[in-house]
Structure 1
Amino acid sequence: MSNACKELAIFLTTGIVVSAFGLPIVFARAHLIEWGACALVLTGNTVIFATILGFFLVFGSNDDFSWQQW
C-alpha cells in the first residue's frame, strides 16, 4: 500500500533535485551565469545530495540504531 503523504514528499523531493541540477544548466546556456559557476553549483549539489542519501542509507533501516528515534 502507498501512503499519500509519502508519495507527495517523494514527488516534491524529485522536483527539488531536478531543479537543483537543471536550473544552473539552463542559466548557463542563457548566459545568465558562467559555465564555471554552473560546474561549481553542480559539484556542490552532487556533494550535498550524496551526503543526504548516504545518511538515509546508513540510518534509514528499521533497526535499533535509527534516525527516527532522534
Structure 2
Amino acid sequence: MSAETSASSGNRIDVMGGRRRYGPVAALILLILMLDDPTAFLARIELWRGTTDAAMARQAHRSHQPDPERQ
C-alpha cells in the first residue's frame, strides 16, 4: 500500500518507514484537545509542521553537499 493510499485511508500514518494504526480512541483524544483550546491546538500543529519542515530542509541540504571523505 502506498503512502498516498495510507494517507487517504485516514487511520494509517507512515512513521519512519513503518506503519502505525490510530483508531477511534486517538481521534477522540485529538478532538477533545482541539475543542478544549482550538488556538493552542492549531499552534501546536503549526509548530510541529515547522520543525518537521526544517528537519526535511536540513536533510535535503545535507544530501546535496559533497562528501568530504570522497574528495
Instruction: Kindly indicate whether structure 1 or structure 2 has the higher relative contact order, using CA contacts under 8 Å at least 6 residues apart.
Output: 1
Give the TM-score normalised by the residue count of structure 2: 0.47
Greater fraction of residues in strand: 2
Give the TM-score normalised by the residue count of structure 1: 0.47
Greater fraction of residues in helix: 1
